[in-house]
């Protein structure tokens, strides 16, 4: 998805690419380089608020998509899974990331 986003903006090849989702490595590497890190906003939200990192003004809508919980089709969710699912949905609704109307 990142490659598609970059190509759609005319960037076809980047030299010296490092791929990581490690928050510790990503932050450390950014401190010693002029690198750009493409990572979920939530991973670096506190760093952006503190001013340690700066979010670049790039439209990355192509990188967003649905996030959900996957359950086995042949097994009913346990009570614990049902509880966690309801709690996550309530938080998503409260934060405006989900509709109060359940999906069909």
Q: What pTM, to 2 d.p., does this model score?
A: 0.55
Which residues neighbour 44 within 8 Å (Cβ) at sequence distance 6 or greater? 23, 26, 27, 37, 53, 55
Query: What is the distance between the alpha carbons of residues 27 and 50, in angstroms, rounded to a whole number?
Result: 13
User: What pLDDT, on the 0 to 100 scale, is given for residue 51?
Assistant: 94
Q: Is pLDDT at 56 greater than 70 in this prediction? A: yes
6-44 residue pLDDT tens: 777 787 778 788 988 899 999 999 999 999 898 888 888
Query: What is the distance between the alpha carbons of residues 38 and 86, in angstroms, rounded to a whole number?
Result: 30
């Amino acid at each position: 998805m990142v490659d598609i986003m970059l190509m759609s903006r005319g960037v076809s090849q980047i030299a010296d690419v490092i791929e990581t989702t490690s928050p510790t490595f990503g932050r450390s590497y950014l401190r010693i380089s002029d690198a750009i890190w493409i990572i979920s906003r939530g991973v670096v939200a506190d760093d952006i608020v503190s001013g340690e990192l700066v979010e670049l003004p790039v439209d990355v809508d192509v990188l967003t998509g649905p996030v959900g919980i996957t359950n086995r089709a042949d097994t009913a969710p346990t009570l614990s899974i049902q509880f966690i699912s309801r709690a996550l949905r309530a938080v998503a609704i409260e934060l405006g990331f989900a509709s109060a109307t359940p999906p069909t």
